[in-house]
Structure 1
Amino acid sequence: MSKILNSLSDDEYVLVRKTKKSQMAKLDEGHLIDLHSRIRRARNKYVKLYRREGAAKVEAKGARGSGKSANKRNAARAEVFEDALSRVSRRLAKVAAHSAEQLKEQRLARARTDAPSFSDVDSVNGKVDSAGRTRVDETRQSPGRKKYEAATIAAGARRQAAKDNK
Structure 2
Amino acid sequence: MKKILNSLSEDEYVLVRETKKAQMAELDEAELINLHTRIRRARNKYAKLYRRTGATKVESKGARGSGKAANKRNAGRAEVFEGALSRVSRKLAAVSRQSARDLKEERLARARKDAPSFSEIETSDGKVRSAGKARVDATRQSSGRKKYEASSIAAGARRQAKKDGR
Give the TM-score, by structure 2 length: 0.82
Does the residue aligned with 2:123 lie in a helix, a strand or coil? helix
Cα separation, partners in 2 of 1:91 and 1:122, compared to 1, 3 Å:
same
Does the residue aligned with 1:5 lie in a helix, a strand or coil? helix
1:71 match: 71
Structure number with bigger Rg: 2
Instruction: Quote the Cα distance in structure 1 between the aligned partners of 2:72 and 2:136.
Output: 67
2:61 match: 61
2:38 equivalent to 1:38:
yes
Does the residue aligned with 2:126 lie in a helix, a strand or coil? coil
User: 5+ unaligned residues in a row in structure 1: which ranges?
Assistant: none
1:7 match: 7
2:27 equivalent to 1:27:
yes
Instruction: Quote the Cα distance in structure 1 between the aligned partners of 2:129 and 2:120.
Output: 11
Q: What is the Cα-based RMSD across aligned positions, in Å?
A: 2.8
Cα separation, partners in 2 of 1:116 and 1:11, compared to 1, 3 Å:
same
Deviation at residue 141 of structure 1 after TM alignment: 3.7
Q: Report how many aligned residue pairs link the two structures.
A: 165
Deviation at residue 68 of structure 1 after TM alignment: 1.3
List per-residue Cα deviations over 1:69-123 (Å, max 9, x = no partner): 1111101100110111111111101101111111111111112222233335561
Cα separation, partners in 2 of 1:89 and 1:149, compared to 1, 3 Å:
farther
Q: Give the percent of matched residue pairs that are identical in Structure 1 and Structure 2.
A: 73
- Give the stretch that moved more between structures: 126-135 or 14-23: 126-135
2:83 equivalent to 1:86:
no
Cα separation, partners in 2 of 1:7 and 1:118, compared to 1, 3 Å:
same
Give the TM-score, by structure 1 length: 0.82
Deviation at residue 151 of structure 1 after TM alignment: 5.2
2:98 equivalent to 1:98:
yes
Instruction: Quote the Cα distance in structure 1 between the aligned partners of 2:133 and 2:103.
Output: 27
Code of the aligned partner of 1:55: A
